[in-house]
Structure 1
Amino acid sequence: MVPTIEMTTTWERTCELDDLEPGWGEVALLGARQVALVRVGGEEVYAVDHHDPHTGAPVMARGIVGSRGDRPTIASPLHKQVYDLGTGACFTDASLALRTYRTRVVGGMIEVELDA
């Protein structure tokens, strides 16, 4: 019999939804992780790794928020690679990807799902 490994996740409270201005990123320190939070409108909030996949620099919260068609995006402020905020896929370099995290809004507070 093969043992199963159970993955656990936790939801971490970050800040109030109203603390984020739509169209801009902010960084949150969740444990030892730096996560960039981006509010694109209403209660739609994305969370991605704050470190640029190309350079490793902690700058993604200062990225340029936009869209490609109906997909919300963020562009690295350093070399302008454009990433899908929902999937982390890079539109400009298929070898790069940005780590994404699920988010939810509970009682006006943004929560980010982290693996244990």
Structure 2
Amino acid sequence: MISHTHNERWSHRLGRRAGHAWRGYLRREQRAAGWLVARGVPAGATTALLWLAKLLVLGVLLYVAFWFFLLVFVLLVARGFAHNEQDEDLWAQQDELRHGTAGYGLYSSGGQRIDPHDPNNPYDE
């Protein structure tokens, strides 16, 4: 008994499925064109009608894509504004490590040492 292994890449399988779908679409289109011609619609009008249907579908897809990307853009801009409001004090002086009146340590913007230290420790300058 031999087991069947997949040696094809996923892109080949995807391409094969897309080809099957395209051929199925073309069969249905030919069947619709044949049905219209059998009902007495001229061949030129049938071709024009099928192209009109394709263009209509393309227009709807572009319309939906436009509004989708506009929504995504607005959400990204709103997120950017919300993020900037959190960083309002960007230019305010931050806490920093420096030498001050109580020795080297972390000092606030007002000059107070804010890290834990022992003023009586000779090694804590």
Fold agreement, TM-score > 0.5: no
More helix by share: 2
What range is the shorter-chain TM-score in?
under 0.3
- Whichever of the two has the greater Rg, that structure is 2
More strand by share: 1
